[in-house]
């Protein structure tokens, strides 16, 4: 842990009880990850093998983006495919053949499993292996599951990146330590971090996923793994299995989070702490400046998080510590204790945490608490507004660049805007 | 397996949700994996509803698949009943749950709830959204409509049911208001409107009407046919879209209601659309080539309005509603066309490109296709995006609907006067395609004197004076003039396109 943020052993939420609930979950499935993953990996195509529901979901989530020659599609299963499995594999070959003829620029093809394909046990890894032989070396074919029965929203990215890990080249055994930043970041954010790392004296930094599938970063025992997103459990495990060692750090949200994240990396890479702090000081100062006006609006206000992306805990930490908000309940679809240890330590003691969901009961708790701001999905946002609560829809937090110093003010702005709007319209 | 990028319709359970969400007092328990709740946001975001759809999902996950998914379903159904206290419960499975074969109907029946439980069989791998809505509505009507012990005694005032409007329907809210008004003006009482805002108790009273008005056959035709068979209620067949459609609809309704044919009723004087279409500014609409695609009801009606009320030429007619293939083929034959029945938007795009229309009337997808092809376009059918759930009153049906159609379809076109001015002042030193807008206060950059690039496959070369003349044609029709002239030259094996050829071609194609 970075020495910058003192952590008292008796504070935080590391040993706090977590309410675990099961019931109806109002969340996206992992297929949704395709929407931002395909923007990042510019020569990859995502082919979902699923039902009309899957195609409809992606279409609804992608909005107008679906027409800018997107690099994703659905192979819709029909009755004939359900009748016999051998036939389904042939059908898949035919669809992939047609797809690759249409899009010769594709270098990496993901076959993405869905609930229907998982339930009928359509073996997509076998299909990927077979197609790989057929289209190699021009196109690499991989598979992962983005099904709702196995993944929640951002876990789709985890499954995708974990499937890509075996493809990473091996770093030479006695190589100099390299920092591998893992998790999809907007290009603008990635570039900012790259500049900051360089200013701190870290030159050997690579990002995963990379923008091109032909320039994948190497991994090996010399790799130091820095997670940029909190939902990458399987990816981290796969990278650790190849020898990489994780750098424990909170996530780069807000001025404090970004500083702690960067300094943790500096420490792990053996850079002088004072020099590193000096290198990031101007940006950190700018971030704090940008946050100040938002603090005036948000301080003392109550915020309630419905589970969505696993970003909830880092966001709650940012809102509580840097903007003075009070946390009513922080819900997360899945809580990875190890990866979030640094975040939990920073949360105010006594924060109500919940993992999983029974949406009706959670709504009852939310209504009873009458928070000033509710962070929730689009299925709940308008109905809660109609009940008089102010909401911030959560998906935007995944699609918008929010990490790093320069985005700290924007991130706070996402939470102040609905409150300011309510005030404006009431006036 | 079908390679799909865009789908015109959702799965059938979304159709069932549209019916459940339109109604009051029903709840739908859907056996579905985690993630299928995405469909909620179609209602809360696109239609901007201020309440959640009345749907409880079991949201099973991989770890539940061991065998307790049936218990999960029973718990969800029991809890949903206890919490929402509906008058009737719909139960069914989404595509994934269909594969695990839990039988929601049987499981829910075992709970012995004190309300009707209606199991929905929606084959997700064969059928789609509209079929799902139609089937759900039919099952609700079949289960809940009560057959009267004695035949109905006709009252002093004719009564009808209004069938078809659902949640997430294309302008259903405003059509409903328009048609209700129209029927009331005719002196007809409305018995039940369904499924919009209706309750299961209301559906029980369906038999207490003389006839049914079917607004959207995709959703209500099956139920209406059953009501005709079971209660002897006739149903309307005319769709009141456009002034002529509305007049015919009135005539049909008047007859079904047994009213005097010339009774004082709604007058189409209120409709400005016929006059607007006759006014001289609309002369330029004559023969504009229009391509029509949408659900069968809206596509057929739009083609008719376009050709008979606005004087366009229909150059393509198609639909994704396979259930209405026969009606569509018949309508297309009337324009000397072959109907395009497909749910593959790439096929639609190819057909639009081939037909080279000047206006596209379609769905959200055609709007994007038209944008890519640089063609004017108006949306006439679902699927649509949030902007087609407007705050203002914007019906498609009735006389006000005809006004809306005129405005909506003509606005994307170059208005006549504007077009006239453009051609009158073409070549004017500050009025050509390279000129910067004059309000920017900058001198226009001189027009490029570079020769017009010829496609490599061009069959004939252009002489300098022909080329010069071509440049005088307004830029927005120049490409077409070039294509036509070259095709003409090719058909006559002319090696060189002269001024003469240009005008010969113009004469040839202006026939």
DSSP class per residue in B23-74: SSSEEEEEE-BTTGGGGHHIIIIIS--SS--SEEE--B-GGGGGT-HHHHHH
Asked if residue B383 has a cis previous peptide bond (ω within 30° of 0), the answer is: yes
**B82 contact A CB<8A:** no
Residue B41 with chain A: CB contacts under 8 Å: 60, 377-379
Task: List CB contacts (< 8 A) between B45 and chain A.
Answer: 378, 382
Question: Is A366 marked as binding a ligand?
Answer: no
Span B131-152, pLDDT tens digits: 999 999 999 999 999 998 888 8
Q: Is the pLDDT of residue B449 over 50?
A: no
A residues 3..32 contacting B (CB < 8 A): 23-32
Report domain extents, chain A: 18-25+287-426, 30-151, 178-277
Closest-CA distance, B103 to chain A, in angstroms, reads 16
> How is domain B12-128 classified at the CATH fold level?
Rossmann fold (3.40.50)
Residues of chain A contacting B368 with CB distance shorter than 8 Å: 64, 67
Supply the CATH classification number for the domain B273-421.
3.40.50.1980
B159-266 matches B273-421 in fold:
yes
> What's the fold here for domain B159-266?
Rossmann fold (3.40.50)
The pLDDT, as a whole number, for residue A406 is 95
The mean pLDDT of A331-358, rounded to a whole number, is: 96
Rounded to the nearest 10°, the torsion over CA A199, A203, A206, A210 is 70
Q: Residue B320: which pLDDT band, with cuts at 50, 70 and 90? A: very high
Domain A178-277: CATH class, spelled out = alpha beta
pLDDT reading at B445 higher than 50 = no
How much is the average pLDDT of A206-213? Answer: 94
- Domain range annotation of chain B: 12-128, 159-266, 273-421, 441-509
Q: What is the pLDDT of residues B259-304, one digit of tens each?
A: 876 655 566 667 899 999 999 989 889 999 999 999 999 999 999 9
To the question of domain B441-509 being in CATH 1.10.8.550, the answer is yes
The segment with the largest mean pLDDT, out of A279-288, B449-458, B481-490, is A279-288
What 3 state SS string does A89-141 have? HHHHHHHHHHHHHHCCCCCEEEEEECHHHHHCCCCHHHHHHHHHHHHCCCCEE
Q: Kindly tell me if the per-residue pLDDT of B443 is higher than 70.
A: no
pLDDT tens-digit series, residues B152-205: 888 889 999 999 999 999 999 999 999 999 999 999 999 999 999 999 999 999
A235-244, long-range: CB within 8 Å, 24+ apart, which pairs? A235/A158, A235/A161, A235/A162, A235/A165, A235/A182, A236/A182, A236/A339, A237/A162, A238/A162, A238/A165, A238/A166, A239/A165, A239/A180, A239/A182, A242/A165, A242/A168, A242/A170, A243/A219, A244/A180, A244/A219, A244/A220
Answer yes or no: is A376 a known binding residue.
no
pLDDT, mean of residues A108-135: 95
Q: B330: which DSSP letter?
A: H
Q: Tell me: the pLDDT tens digits for B36-50?
A: 999 999 999 999 999
pLDDT beyond 50 at B454? no
Taking only residues 99 to 118 of chain B, the set having a beta carbon closer than 8 angstroms to any beta carbon of chain A reads 99-100
Q: Give percent of chain A above pLDDT 70.
A: 95
Residue B459: pLDDT band by 50, 70, 90 thresholds? low
Domains A18-25+287-426 and A178-277 share a fold: yes
Whole-number pLDDT of residue B491: 86
Write out pLDDT tens, residues A377-403. 999 999 999 999 999 999 999 989 999
Question: Catalytic site residues of B?
Answer: 281
Q: Which residues contact B385 (CB under 8 A, 6 or more apart)?
A: A63, A64, B46, B364
Please state, in angstroms and rounded to a whole number, the distance separating the CA atoms of residues A266 and B240.
71
Q: Which residues of B touch A77 (CB under 8 A)?
A: 1, 125
pLDDT digits (tens, 9 = 90+) for B204-223: 999 999 999 999 999 999 99
Res A11: pLDDT: 61
Q: Is A77 on the interface with B (CB under 8 A)?
A: yes
Q: Residue A54, annotated ligand binder?
A: yes
Q: Return the structure tokens found at B146.
A: 């009560």
Residue B425 has pLDDT above 80, yes or no: no
- Per the structure block, which two tokens stand in for B347? 């096929």
Task: Indicate the pTM of the whole model.
Answer: 0.90
Residues 323-362 on A with a CB inside 8 Å of B are 360
- A383 in contact with B, Cβ within 8 Å: yes
Whether A337 shows a pLDDT value over 50: the answer reads yes
Do the interacting molecules here have an ipTM over 0.85? Answer: yes
Residue of A26, A74, A25 lying closest to A53 (CA atoms) = A74
Domain A30-151 has CATH 3.30.70.260: no
CB atoms within 10 A of CB B414: 16
Contact at CB, B126 and A78, closer than 8 angstroms: yes
Q: Which residue of B has its CA nearest to A32?
A: B35
pLDDT at A102: 86
pLDDT at residue A81 in the model: 87
- In this prediction, what percent of chain B has a pLDDT beyond 70? 88
Residues B125, A380: C-beta atoms closer than 8 Å: no
Domain A18-25+287-426 fold is Rossmann fold (3.40.50)
Average pLDDT for chain B: 89
pLDDT at A6 over 60: no
Q: Cα A211 vs. chain centroid, distance in angstroms? A: 16
């Amino acid at each position: 842990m970075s020495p910058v943020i003192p952590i008292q052993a008796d504070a935080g939420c590391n040993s706090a009880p977590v309410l675990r609930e099961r019931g109806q979950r109002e969340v996206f499935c992992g297929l949704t990850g395709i929407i931002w993953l395909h923007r990042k990996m510019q020569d990859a195509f995502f082919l979902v093998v699923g039902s009309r529901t899957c195609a409809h979901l992606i279409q609804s989530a992608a909005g107008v983006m679906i027409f800018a020659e997107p690099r994703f599609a659905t192979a819709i299963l029909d009755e004939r495919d359900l009748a016999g499995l051998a036939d389904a594999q042939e059908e898949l070959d035919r669809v992939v053949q047609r797809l690759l003829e249409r899009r010769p620029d594709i270098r990496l093809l993901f076959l993405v499993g869905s609930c229907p394909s998982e339930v009928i046990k359509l073996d997509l890894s076998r299909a990927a292996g077979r197609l790989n032989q057929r289209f190699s070396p021009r196109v690499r074919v991989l598979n992962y599951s983005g099904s709702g029965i196995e993944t929640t929203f951002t876990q789709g990215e985890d499954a995708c990146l974990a499937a890509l890990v075996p493809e990473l080249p091996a770093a030479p055994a006695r190589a100099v330590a390299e920092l591998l930043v893992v998790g999809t970041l907007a290009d603008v954010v990635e570039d900012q971090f790259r500049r900051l790392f360089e200013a701190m004296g870290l030159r050997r930094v690579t990002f995963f996923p990379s923008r091109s599938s032909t320039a994948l970063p190497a991994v090996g025992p010399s790799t130091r793994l820095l997670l940029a997103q909190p939902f990458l459990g399987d990816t981290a495990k796969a990278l650790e299995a190849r020898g990489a060692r994780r750098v424990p750090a909170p996530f780069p949200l807000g001025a404090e989070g970004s500083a702690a994240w960067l300094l943790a990396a500096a420490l792990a890479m053996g850079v002088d702490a004072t020099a590193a702090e000096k290198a990031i000081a101007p940006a950190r100062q700018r971030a704090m400046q940008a946050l100040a006006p938002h603090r005036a609006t948000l301080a003392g206000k109550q915020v309630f998080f419905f589970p969505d992306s696993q970003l909830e805990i880092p966001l709650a930490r940012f809102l509580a510590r840097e903007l003075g908000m009070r946390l009513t309940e922080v819900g997360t679809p899945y809580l990875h204790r190890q990866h979030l240890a640094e975040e939990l330590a920073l949360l105010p003691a006594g924060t109500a945490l919940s993992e999983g969901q029974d949406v009706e009961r959670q709504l009852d708790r939310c209504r009873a608490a009458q928070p000033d701001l509710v962070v929730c999905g689009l299925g709940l946002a308008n109905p809660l507004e109609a009940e008089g609560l102010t909401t911030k829809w959560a998906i935007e937090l995944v699609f918008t660049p929010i990490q790093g110093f320069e985005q700290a003010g924007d991130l706070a702005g996402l939470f102040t805007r609905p409150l300011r709007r309510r005030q404006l319209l009431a006036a | 397996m079908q390679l799909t990028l865009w789908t015109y319709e959702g799965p059938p359970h979304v159709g069932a949700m549209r019916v459940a969400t339109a109604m009051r007092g029903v709840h739908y328990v859907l056996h579905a994996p985690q993630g299928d709740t995405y469909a909620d946001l179609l209602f809360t975001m696109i239609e901007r509803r201020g309440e959640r759809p009345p749907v409880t999902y079991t949201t099973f996950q991989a770890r539940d698949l061991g065998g307790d998914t049936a218990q999960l379903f029973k718990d969800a159904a029991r809890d949903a009943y206890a919490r929402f206290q509906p008058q009737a419960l719909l139960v069914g499975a989404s595509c994934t749950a269909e594969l695990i074969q839990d039988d929601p109907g049987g499981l829910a029946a075992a709970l012995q709830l004190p309300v009707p439980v209606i199991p929905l069989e929606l084959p997700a791998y064969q059928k789609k959204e509209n079929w799902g809505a139609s089937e759900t509505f039919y099952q609700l009507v079949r289960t809940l409509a009560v057959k009267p012990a004695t035949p109905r005694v006709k009252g002093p005032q004719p009564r009808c049911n209004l069938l078809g409007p659902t949640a997430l329907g294309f302008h259903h809210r405003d059509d409903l208001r328009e048609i209700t008004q129209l029927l009331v003006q005719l002196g007809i009482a409305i018995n039940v409107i369904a499924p919009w805002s209706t309750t299961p108790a209301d559906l029980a009273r369906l038999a207490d009407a003389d006839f049914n008005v079917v607004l959207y056959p995709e959703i209500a035709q099956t139920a209406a046919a059953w009501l005709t068979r079971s209660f002897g209620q006739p149903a309307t067949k005319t769709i009141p879209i456009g002034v002529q459609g509305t007049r015919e609809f009135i005539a049909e309704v008047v007859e079904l209601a047994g009213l005097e044919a010339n009774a004082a009723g709604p007058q189409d004087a209120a409709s400005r659309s016929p006059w607007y279409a006759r006014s001289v500014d609309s002369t330029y609409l004559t023969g504009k080539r229009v391509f029509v695609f949408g659900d069968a009801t809206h596509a057929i009606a739009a083609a008719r309005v376009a050709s008979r009320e606005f004087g366009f030429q229909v150059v393509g007619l198609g639909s994704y509603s396979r259930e209405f293939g026969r009606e569509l083929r018949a309508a297309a034959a009337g324009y000397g066309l072959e109907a395009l029945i497909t749910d593959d938007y790439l096929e639609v795009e190819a057909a639009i490109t081939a037909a080279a229309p000047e206006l596209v009337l379609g769905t959200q997808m055609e709007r994007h296709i038209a944008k890519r092809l640089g063609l004017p376009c108006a949306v006439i059918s679902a699927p649509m995006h949030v902007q087609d759930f407007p705050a203002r009153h914007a019906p498609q049906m009735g006389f006000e609907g005809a006004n809306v159609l005129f405005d909506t379809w003509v606005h994307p076109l170059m208005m006549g006067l504007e077009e006239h001015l453009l051609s009158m002042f073409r070549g004017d030193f500050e009025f050509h395609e390279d000129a910067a807008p004059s309000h920017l206060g900058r001198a226009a950059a001189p027009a490029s004197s570079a020769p017009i690039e010829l496609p490599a496959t061009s069959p004939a070369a252009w002489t300098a004076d022909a080329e010069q003349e071509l440049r005088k044609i307004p830029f927005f029709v120049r490409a077409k003039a070039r294509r036509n002239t070259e095709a003409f030259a090719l058909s006559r094996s002319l090696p060189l396109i002269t001024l003469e050829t240009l005008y010969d071609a113009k004469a040839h194609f202006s026939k």
